[in-house]
Chain A
Amino acid sequence: MPIHIKRRWTQGLSALAVNAYIPTLIRGKIYQGKIKGVCVPVLNCYSCPSALGACPIGSIQNFMATLKFNLSLPQYQLGLYVIGSLGLVGSLLGRFPCGWLCPFGFIQDLFHKIPSPKLSIPKFLNWGKYIVLALMVFALPLFLLDEYGMGKTWFCAWICPAGTLEAGIPLVILNPGLRSQIGFMFFWKVGVLLFFLAWMIFSYRPFCRTTCPLGAILGLFNRASLFRLVVDEEKCKTCDACSKDCPVQIKVHESPNSPECIRCLKCVEACPRGAVAYDFPFFNRPSRKKFRGAAIASSTDEERRPA
């Protein structure tokens, strides 16, 4: 089965798996089972009625927002469980969950299938997600506090379109009690969602590339994770076929493990010489003889030097 078909199936199954509890979806309530405390490595709102796990970005914001208050108790909850959970996934897979597992990424992929003129995204906008991460996930919840020393979850409140799509709209439709409370913030968030839905028709994964704080965190692991892309120096003729097919506009043969890479593996399929491959211990690992760059191929010239 071609990689892109495998990926589409995996994305669909993952979206169902992390939102598998259907009874609460029908009742307009949210799932409250024991496993809800497990952080999923994807952007999936924990207020989605059928969500089985916790959103790591929402959880980090909650820890930051309550940090000062907790320390006054004193209760030393710094969010290490959530950050460590992301570290476990990141060190193994890097940004692979963005490309293969994230339900909101899957939605963006599907919207991009709608026929339309396709537009690239200026590179400087890639920095947006780091600003969102630093400001709205850490700084504002941590430092902008009310009189009780409690902060707010700024990213969830003002930006997260996944929360609006997966939780806000379904709950407001299904739950009359919530419907009566909607106001400016709800319509603001619907506006943000519509903005990204429109953008994702014309550009590939605009939210992941410019705004998603989870993508920013997992992307930091791309250069060090066990799962990585490798480029065979002997086979690569720098024909740019990989880069032309790369949906996130990476120069794959120069920077195969860029933080922007969502591991969709289109480059692996696109290379006419089989020079691009993925490397993961015990799983389709290219041999050292075949892929001279396997142990060292990465984003810098030094790392790309043949062994």
Chain B
Amino acid sequence: MKRRAWAVVLFAVSAALVLVGLTQGEFGSVFEKAVTVCLSCIGIG
């Protein structure tokens, strides 16, 4: 039960982090990076 409680606490904290990140516009920042070719990922630049 203790372990399950830890998992639930971690899940709740993670959900809170996601919400805070979303309110800061981080989804848009991730999207902008993800739709541009990452030159360092492909070994250019």
Binding site for B on A (CB under 8 A): 30-32, 34, 36-37, 39, 45-47, 51, 53-55, 58-59, 62-63, 75-88, 90-92, 152-153, 156-157, 160, 163-164, 167-168, 171-172, 178, 181-183, 185-190, 221, 223-226, 228, 281, 295-296, 298
Contact = CB atoms under 8 A, between A and B. Distances in A.
Nearest to A296: B3
Interface residues of B, number: 37
Contacts, number: 170
A226 B4 contact: yes
Nearest to B25: A77
Contacts of A181: 44-45
A88 B14 contact: yes
Contact of A80 (B17, B42, B45): B17
Nearest to A170: B42
Nearest to B17: A84
Contacts of A187: 43
B26 to A, nearest CB: 4
Contacts of A30: 35, 37
B33 to A, nearest CB: 5
Interface of B: 1, 3-4, 6-8, 10-11, 13-22, 24-31, 33-35, 37-38, 40-45
B10 A90 contact: yes
Nearest to A88: B14
